[in-house]
């Protein structure tokens, strides 16, 4: 910038005005500066700029997901990117793999780079480390998992409602023995979905049989094993609800291995591509990751624009997509 100023024979401040498109620069100087910028291949340094600027904005946000390669997470990521771009904001994305240590490390790294805000899918129920950063002044929105503190907003899916709808659908088809596969119970959504399952059973007059429930199941292969175990027990379920997208896939594999067409009805939580082309097509409780991402990003930017109201808890509806895997009890 010094070089530009020297070449254009103006002051530093004038170059700064041109670069920031501030009004009140004569056409003559404006041309000279722009010419000098082109000649020297000058590139504005946004980091130095934000250091000196009063608002200290870096036009940068952090996004911490469970795994950027999971389709649910990457759909959220994309939705957030689209909102951020309209604000000329770049997104640092990272994966926690449900590991509190990685979460803490990532948040530290983001804070050190002075991101303007953070959207995070918290790893566990203990938000102390995250809230510590929040108190130090980092605006924060939780996505997919509820905040207990009113210092942060959260955007979550209607997990319980979705599970109740799934139970209802199966109960109305005559199922009495409905199994459930759930992710790590430290994950908020896994707990909520389980509670929705329990509520659903109660609502539709069904017994909760602990033998039909497998929790803390993580990943495709564990789900496959858990489903096999469920099918092999003394009184196997006639229907199965899976509480996460990878668990759904594992259960489908196990049911498929047990017979060419499912002998057991099933409903998955979270829709996935090609669910309608499997045999049978898989009934699911669909979430809306795009709406969740958009909502979270808008909330964060509202905070950056000065919204100081207490933390909101925003719930995005889920809805049952009836395909064919959850037919009548046999």
Partner DNA sequence: TTGAAAGCGATACCAG
Partner DNA sequence: CTGGTATCGCTTTCAA
Note the residues at the interface with DNA (CB under 7 A). Answer: 1-2, 9-14, 16-17, 19-20, 23-26, 28-29, 42-45, 48-49, 51-55
Phi-psi region of 42 (alpha: psi -120 to 50; beta: other; left: phi over 0): beta
CB of 34 to DNA, least distance (A): 13
Pick one of DNA, a second copy, none as the site partner of residue 277 (Cβ within 5 to 8 A by kind).
a second copy
| CA 97 – CA 239 distance, rounded (Å) | 30
- Verify binding: residue 16, a second copy, rule CB under 8 A: no
Give the strand pairing for 60-65 and 319-321. unpaired
Nearer to DNA, 9 or 185 (CB): 9
Q: Quick check: 249 and 222 in contact, CB under 8 A?
A: no
- Verify binding: residue 88, a second copy, rule CB under 8 A: yes
Pick one of DNA, a second copy, none as the site partner of residue 41 (Cβ within 5 to 8 A by kind).
a second copy
CA distances from 223 to 82, 184, 209, 268, 283 (A): 34, 12, 19, 12, 18
| CA 60 – CA 86 distance, rounded (Å) | 12
CA distances from 69 to 66, 73, 74, 78, 245 (A): 9, 7, 6, 12, 13
Instruction: Enter the DSSP assignment of 279.
Output: S
CB of 8 to DNA, least distance (A): 8
Percentage helix, strand, coil for the chain under 3-state DSSP, each rounded to 5: 45, 15, 40
Nearer to DNA, 27 or 308 (CB): 27
- Verify binding: residue 252, a second copy, rule CB under 8 A: yes
Nearer to a second copy, 197 or 262 (CB): 262
CB of 314 to a second copy, least distance (A): 22
> Stretches 64-72, 139-147, 193-201, 208-216: which one binds a second copy (CB under 8 A)?
64-72
| CA 298 – CA 325 distance, rounded (Å) | 37
- Verify binding: residue 279, a second copy, rule CB under 8 A: yes
Q: Quick check: 88 and 96 in contact, CB under 8 A?
A: no
How many binding residues for a second copy (CB under 8 A)?
45
Residues that bind a second copy (CB under 8 A): 41, 43-48, 50-51, 58, 60, 67-69, 71, 74-75, 77-78, 81, 85, 88, 90-95, 109-114, 136, 249, 252-253, 256, 272-274, 277-279
């Amino acid at each position: 910038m010094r070089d530009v100023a020297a070449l254009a024979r103006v002051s530093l401040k004038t170059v700064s005005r041109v670069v920031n498109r501030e009004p009140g620069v004569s056409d003559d100087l404006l041309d000279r500066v722009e010419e000098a910028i082109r000649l020297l291949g000058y590139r504005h340094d946004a980091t130095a700029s934000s250091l000196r600027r009063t608002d200290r904005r870096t036009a940068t946000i952090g996004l911490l997901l469970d795994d950027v390669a999971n389709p649910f997470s990457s759909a959220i990521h994309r939705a957030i990117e689209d909102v951020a771009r309209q604000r000329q904001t770049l997104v640092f994305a990272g994966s926690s793999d449900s590991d509190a240590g990685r979460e803490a490390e990532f948040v530290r790294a983001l804070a050190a780079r002075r991101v303007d805000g953070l959207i995070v899918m918290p790893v566990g129920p203990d938000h102390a480390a995250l809230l510590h950063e929040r108190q130090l002044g980092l605006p924060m929105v939780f996505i997919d998992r509820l905040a207990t503190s009113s210092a942060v907003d959260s955007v979550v899916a209607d997990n319980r409602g979705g599970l109740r709808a799934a139970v209802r659908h199966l109960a109305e088809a005559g199922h009495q023995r409905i199994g459930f596969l759930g992710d790590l119970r430290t994950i908020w959504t896994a707990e909520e979905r389980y509670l929705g399952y329990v509520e659903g059973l109660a609502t539709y007059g069904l017994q909760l049989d602990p033998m039909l429930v497998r929790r803390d199941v993580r990943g495709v292969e564990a789900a496959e094993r858990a489903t096999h175990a469920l099918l092999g027990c003394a009184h196997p379920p006639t229907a199965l609800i899976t509480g996460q997208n990878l668990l759904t896939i594992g259960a489908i594999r196990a049911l498929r291995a047990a017979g060419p067409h499912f002998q057991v009805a099933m409903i998955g939580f979270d829709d996935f591509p090609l669910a309608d082309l499997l045999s049978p097509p898989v009934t699911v409780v669909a979430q809306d990751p795009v709406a969740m991402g958009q909502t979270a990003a808008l909330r964060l930017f509202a905070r950056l624009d000065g919204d100081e109201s207490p933390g909101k808890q925003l719930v995005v509806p889920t809805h049952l997509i009836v395909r064919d895997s959850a037919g009548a009890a046999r």
